[in-house]
Amino acid sequence: MTAAIVDRFRRGDRTVIATPAGMRFGNWAYLWLTAHQRTRAGDPTFVLEVPGMAPWIDRFPALAALTVSKDELHFHDRREWRGGAALQRFGIDFTREALQSFVRDALAPAVPAREPADVVVNIRRGDYYAFSGFRGMYGMDIEGYIRAALAVVDPPADILVVSDDPAWCRENLDGMLHDRARVVSYAERDPVGNFLAIASARTLIGMNSTFSYWGGYVADVLHDDARIVMPRFHARLENGWDAYQLDPRWAALEGFDGREPATPGTPADQE
């Protein structure tokens, strides 16, 4: 209530989007996208810097122009407190054109042009599976999904696995992956380097993670013929389970979430 009262006196010429706690790059990128599209429309908007952003701004310098630190925050700056999922809906919170404009301006110039492998597979584990509450919200049949996703892409000569838990991937997915490709390699854990690998992929198999979604967004800009496969499922939320972040042109695979029988190799209807 106190913040709301104080905000009534903020009448500055720019808006600063507060950054909710617990976010990382995939969620921050939607805030930067929002700031970018509003600023281009004549409403100067910035994202409030929080710990952890520095390595991303170092790699993607254009993000600095969309970010303000607490020291740069002015009392009269208008504040926006909503964030997270409220700004992530493809076709509602942003258009494909606005998204691709942001990617071209802020992200694509810093992504290597060389494709790291015929197929890049991004596996999200980490807190999704380390904590029972998150596992109950985000957990899915990873093995079944990856098997189905590999069935809808061209047979690869080599596969690169990018994950926050490469040891789990080696133990649980290696045999399946070697059935499809002669060479299977595993990227070292490095958030920025891992993102560059998935973003430069021409064929990307992603997960129910904003990190994957942003890899797909950038890959789409870098490659006219990019092939992006994602699960339709995002999380077990009260307002629905489907990922509203997905580009309708991607192959979105149904199932693998316990909601209905999986249909391996069958993408959802696409635009």
Domains identified in the chain and CATH numbers: 2-110 (no CATH), 119-253 (3.40.50)
Amino acid at 217: Y
Please name the residues in contact with 114: beta carbons below 8 A apart, sequence gap of 6 or more: 200
Element (H, E) at 231: strand 227-231
pTM above 0.85, yes or no: yes
Query: In one letter, which amino acid is 98?
Result: A
Cβ neighbours around 182 below 10 Å, total: 10
Taking phi first (over 0 means left), then psi (-120 to 50 degrees means alpha), and beta for anything else, what does residue 29 get?
Answer: alpha
Q: Which amino acid is at 205?
A: I
Strands (E), 60-189: 67-68, 78-80, 119-123, 158-163, 183-186
- In this prediction, residue 7 carries a pLDDT of 52
Nearest Cα residue to 120 out of 226, 16, 204, 25: 204
Q: What is the pLDDT along the chain (271 residues), one digit of tens a residue?
A: 454 445 554 566 899 999 888 889 999 999 999 999 999 999 999 999 999 999 999 999 999 999 999 999 988 898 887 655 679 999 999 999 999 999 999 999 999 989 999 999 999 999 999 888 899 999 999 999 999 999 999 999 999 999 999 999 999 999 999 999 999 999 999 999 999 999 999 999 999 999 999 999 999 999 999 999 999 999 999 889 999 999 999 999 999 998 754 444 444 333 3
Residue 40 host element (H or E): helix 25-40
